[in-house]
Structure 1
Amino acid sequence: MAQRKVFAGGKVRAARQRAGLTQRELATQLDISVSYLNQIENNQRPLTAALMLALSEQLRLDLGDLVSDKADRLLADLREVMADPMFGEAAPGLIELKSVAASAPDMAQAVLRLYDAYRRANERLASADAALAGSGAGGAQTSYEEVRDFFHYAGNYIDRLDVAAEALAGRLGGEPLGRLERLAAHVEVACGVTVAFEAPERPEQMRRHDRARRVVSLNARLAPPTLFFQLAAQLALLAEAEAIDEIVRGAGFKTAEAAEICRIGLANYYAGALQMPYGAFLAAAASHAYDIEQLAFTFGASLEQVGHRLSTMQRPKARGVPFFFARVDAAGTITKRHSATPLQFPRFGGACPLWNVHRAFEAHGQIMRQLAETPDGNRYLCLAWSEEKRIGGFRGPVRRYAFALGCEIAHAGRLTYAADLNLDRPAAFEPIGISCRICPRGDCLQRSVPPLDARLTIDADSRAVVPYRLG
């Protein structure tokens, strides 16, 4: 398969300007023509491997940042939006979208927000009940979606909190045995509160901070990994409050609600980084060939926590395998999503039913594998498993989730899960999409709705599984 082309014109231009160089001066240093550099900065030419190395040396650019340009994420979102037939022939082409995503990211974000508002307005108009009720939800992006996009465009890596958590993890010690007790003792001394493990009034309550009594109560029924995570998140809200506040202010959220949701998300990020400190976790992941069950045992974590942490291992100059990670409920709704890969989750619809995560509920306790290819030609090794989380006794609440973790096939050789798979056989890869509304595959028997930008051929005298043909 052809190597994915890297367009990073915006980053190159910004780095050149920071260095105070003209295009001619930088072109001379790189031993290329000025016109060639101009084409690179305008995303008309991709970066070669040799040129990326030269730019890294001349402008002190991190190679990982060049390869994983955030413009890729914006581009995928823009392409999904422009597939709406409302744009018709006025929809810009791929080259124009690449230029906007790389050179005018704020404009691209504004277009996404505008389309989201348009889509929500149409949904409200389509519902007579909602129209009569006069819902005040508005057409704006929800607070949760705003926070989701914040982490999405941050690459799901928050350096300040990650480094702080790693430093504390070093002081606490890495042995999982007794680590919860050591953390509780640290919280009591550092934050001046009492940590209590007890049965809560409501079985679904995991933790509660009583500010008046200065007591942090944790549900004693929770599994040890969850107890550690919840206590670490509370520690972040107390000891890292200043850092979290600065990050939230810098994000520029439109509502106080979104800011509070992000504050919780950042506390959870710190908790995962404390539970699985970056350097030690990255070394263990490489040593155990990214075996998630072995990593869960080594760090006293759950499989979900390990999968989520793997999706954050993108520290500059110390990057791990880029993973995507998602959590899906029994209805097929994606309730958690992170991606350091080109794979983009749908923003405006359900995920592809051919993705193996939807079958994970049928194979409880097993890690399923799938070799998959998306319409853009990228290939992935996809892992999926399901878990059942109980709190309380026989009649206590139960949550059931399936989880997806995967990477591009170029990195699959580093994973134990690929050791017996033939990664060079094209027929081994199942065709999957992002969502039916933007998937161009014309021969998919699982298609639920036609693509938004497709012409349909419908023949009443001939019926197949899908009652229309594309084109």
Structure 2
Amino acid sequence: MPPQKLYAGVKLRETRARLGLTQKTFAERLGVSLPYLNQMENNHRPVSAGVVLALAGEFGLDITELSTGDSERMVSDMREALADPVFADVAPPLADLRLAASNAPALARAFLELHRSYRQAHERLASLDEALGRGAPHTIVSPWEEVRDFFHYCDNYIDAIDHAAERFACPDGQRGDVIRLATEALGRRGLSVEIADVAAIRTREGAVVRLSAHAPRATQAFQMLHQVALVTQNELIEATLDLARFQSEISRSVAKVGLANYFAGAALMPYAPFLAAAQSTRHDLERLADMFGASIEQVAHRLSTLQRPGAKGVPFFFVRVDQAGTITKRHSATRLQFARFGGSCPLWNVHQAFETPTRFLRQLAETPDGVRYLCVARDVSKSGGSFTAPVQRYAICLGCEISHARDVVYADDLDLSNPRTYQPIGISCRICERNNCPQRSMPPLERNFQVDPNRRGLLPYEIV
């Protein structure tokens, strides 16, 4: 496969504007002509290797920032939005979507925001229709989607909070005992910690923070650090929320919980020590969990956040699903995107993890765009703490593009060079264009299909 050309016009313009340079001065410092720079800034030409080196050497730019991750995410989101039946007669070619995402990202985001507002208005009308007795189906819209998009477009990395958590966990430049540090930090605020026989994982009543005795040690540590974030980093969290400009107070409240959780995970696994350990263990989840006193799920999620400029780790995607196939957590620092609506692809190994408790399942997968991935899945079911309490059953999947697979221990002994070892997977049936998938649940909304009552193949219809 030929190397992918790098078009980064928006990033070039943003860099030049940040530095306060004219096109002429910027071109001179990059060692290119003014017309050539103009063509690159407008994505008429790819960014050359010489320009990439000049950006790094002359301006100290982290060249990984030139990646097309945001553009690919927006393309995926626009494709799914355009699969809405309201756009039944509109089918922009993929090249146009990529052009819009690369050259006019603000316009693309405005389109996605407009479509989301349309869906919310439509769903509210449907809800009202049902309340009036006309029986129209509806879906209750929650602020989770707005908060999820906030983290999604931040690459799940919040720099100020990540640094604050690292300073807390490494007060002398070395990783300390976070449980002791958390206990002392809460004590200075007049709060004591009590391990009690309570149903809630964490509750705060007056000056006492109660943690469930039934929760694993890693969960107890995480919940203590969550409370530390709320009482010691509230000003920083509120400032971050102000910058995000959420549309409702409930969205802001959900995001505040998310940012406190982010601090807790970043303090339990501080960036620099965790990145070094991840690289030395080749991202072995079990070893990392043991080294940092964390759970497998916490480690997998933290690996997907290692996107600090100048010190980025392997770009991973992370997802958690329940037994119904519903995605309950998701993030992608790779080109792989997840369905916003409905379940995920049934061919993905994350769904098989429920059948093999405590085992890691490895899968080499290829998406319809031809990108190949290494996927590692495992169940993370959680006991309710008693015979009568329900068990929470989840499965997680961590993965990276195959170009990074050699840095991951789970790729050992797999035949990465054989195309036949890669399982074809998709995002969701509604936007997947594979026409020979035996697990397809519905035709793709962007394609027509026909039905022949005298013929039956893998599917009861033929995609045309």
- For residues 386 and 273 of structure 2, the distance between their equivalents in structure 1, rounded to whole angstroms, comes to 36
Once the two structures are overlaid, the 10-residue window that deviates more, 137-146 or 220-229, is 137-146
CA RMSD, 1 decimal = 2.6
> Secondary structure at the residue paired with 1:324?
strand
- For residues 67 and 83 of structure 1, the distance between their equivalents in structure 2, rounded to whole angstroms, comes to 26
- For residues 165 and 318 of structure 2, the distance between their equivalents in structure 1, rounded to whole angstroms, comes to 21
TM-score (norm 1): 0.92
C-alpha contact (below 8 Å) 1:65/1:316 kept by paired residues:
yes
| Distance 1:214-1:437 versus aligned 2 partners, 3 A rule | same
For residue 293 of structure 1, the aligned residue among 286, 307, 321 is: 286
Return the letter of the residue paired with 1:326. V
| Distance 1:179-1:168 versus aligned 2 partners, 3 A rule | closer
- For residues 122 and 96 of structure 1, the distance between their equivalents in structure 2, rounded to whole angstroms, comes to 27
- For residues 329 and 83 of structure 2, the distance between their equivalents in structure 1, rounded to whole angstroms, comes to 24
Cα distance, 1:444 vs. partner? 0.6
**Does 1:6 find its partner at 2:16?**
no
For residue 193 of structure 1, the aligned residue among 183, 191, 194 is: 191
| Distance 1:182-1:88 versus aligned 2 partners, 3 A rule | closer
Return the letter of the residue paired with 1:236. A
> Secondary structure at the residue paired with 1:398?
coil
Cα distance, 1:169 vs. partner? 1.0
**Does 1:264 find its partner at 2:262?**
no
| Residue equivalent to 1:157 | 157
For residue 358 of structure 2, the aligned residue among 358, 365, 374 is: 365
For residue 204 of structure 2, the aligned residue among 180, 189, 209 is: 209
> Secondary structure at the residue paired with 2:342?
coil
| Residue equivalent to 2:341 | 348
Please show how residues 30-109 of structure 1 align to structure 2 within 5 Å: 30-84=30-84, 86-88=86-88, 90-109=90-109
C-alpha contact (below 8 Å) 1:390/1:399 kept by paired residues:
yes
**Post-superposition CA distance 1:12-52 (Å, at most 9, x none):** 01111232333333333333343332232122333233322
Return the letter of the residue paired with 2:337. Q
- For residues 404 and 346 of structure 1, the distance between their equivalents in structure 2, rounded to whole angstroms, comes to 15
**Post-superposition CA distance 1:130-168 (Å, at most 9, x none):** 353599x99996311000000000110011111111111
- For residues 449 and 126 of structure 2, the distance between their equivalents in structure 1, rounded to whole angstroms, comes to 23
Please show how residues 392-407 of structure 1 align to structure 2 within 5 Å: 392-407=385-400
- For residues 163 and 407 of structure 2, the distance between their equivalents in structure 1, rounded to whole angstroms, comes to 25
**Does 1:450 find its partner at 2:450?**
no
- For residues 248 and 390 of structure 2, the distance between their equivalents in structure 1, rounded to whole angstroms, comes to 32
Cα distance, 1:122 vs. partner? 5.5
Could you list the runs of 5+ residues in structure 2 that have no partner in the other structure? none
TM-score (norm 2): 0.93
**Post-superposition CA distance 1:203-231 (Å, at most 9, x none):** 2x111112xx3111111221100000000
Cα distance, 1:8 vs. partner? 1.8
Could you list the runs of 5+ residues in structure 1 that have no partner in the other structure? none
> Secondary structure at the residue paired with 1:466?
coil
| Residue equivalent to 1:169 | 169
- For residues 217 and 174 of structure 1, the distance between their equivalents in structure 2, rounded to whole angstroms, comes to 29
**Does 1:302 find its partner at 2:295?**
yes
Please show how residues 225-244 of structure 1 align to structure 2 within 5 Å: 225-244=218-237
- For residues 436 and 393 of structure 1, the distance between their equivalents in structure 2, rounded to whole angstroms, comes to 39
Please show how residues 306-455 of structure 1 align to structure 2 within 5 Å: 306-455=299-448
For residue 275 of structure 1, the aligned residue among 268, 273, 277 is: 268
**Post-superposition CA distance 1:149-191 (Å, at most 9, x none):** 0000011001111111111111389779x653443233212x2
Return the letter of the residue paired with 2:414. L
**Post-superposition CA distance 1:244-288 (Å, at most 9, x none):** 000001100010000000000000000000100100100001110
Cα distance, 1:320 vs. partner? 0.4
Return the letter of the residue paired with 1:186. A
For residue 249 of structure 1, the aligned residue among 242, 247, 269 is: 242
> Secondary structure at the residue paired with 1:171?
coil
**Post-superposition CA distance 1:102-131 (Å, at most 9, x none):** 344333223223323444555677789735
- For residues 173 and 186 of structure 2, the distance between their equivalents in structure 1, rounded to whole angstroms, comes to 15
> Secondary structure at the residue paired with 1:65?
helix
> Secondary structure at the residue paired with 1:436?
coil
- For residues 142 and 103 of structure 1, the distance between their equivalents in structure 2, rounded to whole angstroms, comes to 31
C-alpha contact (below 8 Å) 1:195/1:217 kept by paired residues:
yes
| Distance 1:134-1:316 versus aligned 2 partners, 3 A rule | farther
| Residue equivalent to 2:182 | 183
C-alpha contact (below 8 Å) 2:317/2:398 kept by paired residues:
yes
- For residues 427 and 258 of structure 1, the distance between their equivalents in structure 2, rounded to whole angstroms, comes to 45
**Post-superposition CA distance 1:342-389 (Å, at most 9, x none):** 101111332111111011100111000000000111110001000221
| Residue equivalent to 1:27 | 27
| Distance 1:182-1:103 versus aligned 2 partners, 3 A rule | same
Return the letter of the residue paired with 1:184. T
| Distance 1:253-1:359 versus aligned 2 partners, 3 A rule | same
> Secondary structure at the residue paired with 1:70?
helix
| Distance 1:179-1:29 versus aligned 2 partners, 3 A rule | closer
Cα distance, 1:81 vs. partner? 1.8
Return the letter of the residue paired with 1:188. G
| Distance 1:140-1:393 versus aligned 2 partners, 3 A rule | closer
- For residues 195 and 173 of structure 1, the distance between their equivalents in structure 2, rounded to whole angstroms, comes to 26
Once the two structures are overlaid, the 10-residue window that deviates more, 255-264 or 42-51, is 42-51
C-alpha contact (below 8 Å) 1:113/1:141 kept by paired residues:
no
Report the identity percentage.
Answer: 49
- For residues 140 and 92 of structure 1, the distance between their equivalents in structure 2, rounded to whole angstroms, comes to 30
> Secondary structure at the residue paired with 2:330?
strand
